[in-house]
Amino acid sequence: MKTIFSLFHYHQYSIATARIPSTNSTTRSFWSTVAISLQHHHAPPSAPLYLRTASKSEAENTLISLIKSCARISHLCQIHCYLIRTSFLLNPTIFLCFLSRIALPPFQNIPYSYRTFLNYPNHNISLYNTMIRAFSLSDSSFLGFELYREMVHFGISADALSLLSALKCSIKMGSLLNGLQVHGMIFRDGHISDCFLSSALVDFYSVNRKYDEACKVFAEMSYRDTVAWNSLISCQIKNKRTRDALTAFDIMERSEGPRPDDVTCLFLLEACANLNALEFGERVHDYVTSCGLSGSIKICNTLVAMYSRCGSIEKAYEVFKNMPRKDVVTWSSMISGLASNGYGRDAIEAFMEMQRVGIAPDDQTFTGVLSGCSHSGLVDEGLMFFDCMRKEFGVVPNIYHYGCMVDLMGRAGLLDKAYELISRMEAKPDAAVWRTLLGACRIHKNAILGERVVEHLIELKAEEAGDYVLLLNIYSSIGDWEKVMKIRKLMKEKRIQTTPACSTIELNGKIHEFIADDVSHPRKKEIYEKLDEINDQLRIAGYVSEITAELHNTDVEKKRTTLSYHSEKLAIAFGVLSTPPGTKIRVAKDLRICVDCHNFAKILSAVYNRVVIIRDRHRSHHFREGHCSCNDYW
């Protein structure tokens, strides 16, 4: 026996095969060892090997373990031929095993597996399930749903797995109707208590923006495990109920039920980043450490991102520094973090360091580098990186890279160059790219180009309230009130409604939310009084509200009043009111901060001697002693 194994070891397969005793004495463990040995050496299975097996069941078991352990698709093809020749393929167990292997990851060869599936004479439910699941993981999920229908049509009633796969197909193909049908079947057949199905349903309603339905499914679950909670938390983040995600974590941590796991923490760190909730983020960090999850590279990468997005670049660097292994995601997170916090030069430095340690940059690394250049006004450097990314690193610029370049050129006033760049990009420019250029037109008060950009947005049928607001801003900044009226009328006709911006501030781990002219907060009277007081103080220090930031062509005094109650100002006032002097005030805003609020925060940081950090949808603005980290490169 030993000799045979050593022959295998030295890749002498044919000699080894010849020496295998053809008696019944060969045991199952022997054949499994042979199978593993072959797999270990990536050796193709040799057909005569199996023909000589002692009994049929021995051969079956060997084949199954061999199929399961095959490391290459080409070996599976060879086994396939062998199975056909020996009629082993008609064995349902072996066929199912074979089909799952070629249809599911890591091979996922859909054409091959579907062809094989179609050629099989008797389809049972397991085969259907495997095939539907394979489709649900592929790009042709609609075929999976068709197969599910076909199965039901042929009188095979769907079980939990069929329904799960059909549901995943509906999610992937984005069909609300199909998913609802599956939910109906789940309900009808009494699978509603299946934890896996309910979690998938939560996810289904989540991606279809039906938050209440998702909550309903979750509430009706008889038992909720960690994954079910994770699905809910993911749903809350996707559906702008990020604060509820923090609450959900609270409940999980306090109750005796399922423990938050690494995935829960990933979601929570994202939630904290979205809300600029540094304290809560630190709490999750502590939890991660206490559970021994701090060795996970995924978690650490997300921690780096969370701390940077919360404007705490020091803490981000701390985590980054202590990571024993750093991959491309780690470096990209650090680079993007430096970039969004106004450290463009350091972002470039980190990019150089990354190459010194031999990590190849990818597309997202360049997004970080280029956005760093654009935020810090490093025009030449940005152009240089954009030029060399394809030539030297083989990274083809995507739409985000073009977005960064448009931003870079746009801020620098090279509006026509930016327009030209968009016109000759190989990918079709999306709304975000045009919107970036529109933002630049706003900064440089270029109404003519602004109009052209909006036309492109209309052509894409992607115009949003925010775009018209930018255009309005351009007109009002140059005092063209006639055009302002025209646009407002147009907006009314098109029934475009402005969505109120929302700002959040964290106090003692609790998130407070404000929208413009908000009156919902329990301490609203105090807050408004404080804000009026702040406004008076700042005016003494020379703050003049930038009235062009407001749209309406009303009298100046009224404009000043409207501007006074922007959501970020309310949040800042609340921060000044409720924290002792010297405490940092950190605010998150879902849209972009306006010029006026920018000035407001800048002067406030000097007058009240507070560090104010505002994170809008693009970056963090650090205000300290009357200065801003972005050097007013707004």
Partner DNA sequence: CTAGGGTTAG
The footprint of DNA (CB under 7 A) covers 96, 125-126, 129-130, 133, 159-161, 164, 168, 194-200, 203, 225-228, 230-231, 234, 261-264, 266, 270, 297-298, 301-302, 305, 327-329, 331-333, 336, 362, 364-365
- Give the chain's end-to-end CA distance (angstroms, integer): 77
Total residue length of the chain = 634
CA dist., res. 155 & res. 152, Å (int): 5
**Comparison of 268 and 408: residue with beta carbon closer to DNA:** 268
C-alpha 316/C-alpha 319 separation (Å) is 5
48 closest CA partner among 11, 19, 72, 71: 19
Q: How far is the CB of 156 from DNA (least distance, A)?
A: 11
Looking at the Cβ atoms of 182 and 200, the one nearer to DNA is 200
Q: Which residue lies nearer to DNA by CB, 39 or 302? A: 302
Least distance in Å: CB of 280 to DNA?
16
Q: How far is the CB of 202 from DNA (least distance, A)?
A: 8
CB 237 within 8 A of CB 263: no
Contact between 561 and 548 under an 8 Å Cβ cutoff? The reply is no
Give the pair of three-digit tokens for residue 557: 């005094």
Which of 329, 551 has the CB closer to DNA?
A: 329
Phi-psi region of 42 (alpha: psi -120 to 50; beta: other; left: phi over 0): left
Cβ at position 623, least distance to DNA in Å: 23
Other beta carbons within 10 Å of 84: 12
Q: Which two tokens stand for residue 60?
A: 């079956």
CA distance to 171, 374, 384, 387, 403, per residue, from 379 (Å): 43, 7, 9, 12, 14
**Closest approach of DNA to the CB of residue 361, in Å:** 7
Q: Between residues 132 and 487, which has the closer beta carbon with respect to DNA?
A: 132
Residue whose CB is less far from DNA, 189 or 480 = 189
Residue pair 18/4 in contact by the 8 Å Cβ criterion: no
With respect to DNA, which residue has the nearer C-beta, 362 or 480? 362
Structure letter (DSSP) for residue 174: T
Report d(CA 394, CA 268) in Å as an integer.
35
What number of CA atoms fall less than 13 Å from residue 595's CA on the CB side? 18
Identify the CA nearest to 453 among candidates 476, 486, 430. Answer: 430
Residue number, 157 or 499, with CB nearest to DNA: 157
CA distances to 252, 311, 569, 609, 628 from 625, in Å: 41, 17, 18, 6, 9
The residue (of 230 and 473) whose beta carbon lies closer to DNA is 230
Closer to DNA by CB, 199 or 548: give it: 199
The answer to whether 601 and 537 have CB atoms below 8 angstroms apart is no
Q: Residue with structure tokens 């349903």? A: 201
Nearer to DNA, 228 or 278 (CB): 228
Contact yes or no for 129/162 (Cβ under 8 A): yes
- Closest distance to DNA from the beta carbon of 65 (Å): 15
What number of H helices and E strands is found in the chain? 34, 6
Cβ atoms within 10 Å of 263's Cβ, excluding its own: 17
Q: Which is nearer to DNA, 164 or 405 (CB)?
A: 164
In the complex, minimum distance from the CB of residue 508 to DNA, in angstroms, rounded to a whole number: 25
Per DSSP, the residues of 366-423 read HHHHHHHHHHTT-HHHHHHHHHHHHHHH-----HHHHHHHHHHHHHTT-HHHHHHHHH
Shortest distance, CB of residue 109 to DNA, whole angstroms? 17
Least distance to DNA from the beta carbon of 492, Å?
38
CA dist 349 to 212, 246, 307, 408, Å?
A: 47, 35, 19, 19
Residue 449 Cβ vs DNA, minimum distance, rounded to whole Å:
31
Helix (H, G, I), strand (E, B) or coil at 506: strand
Closest approach, Cβ 145 to DNA, in A, equals: 16
Of the pair 195, 496, the CB lying nearest DNA is at: 195
CB of 337 to DNA, least distance (A): 8
How near is the Cβ of 161 to DNA at its closest, in Å?
A: 4
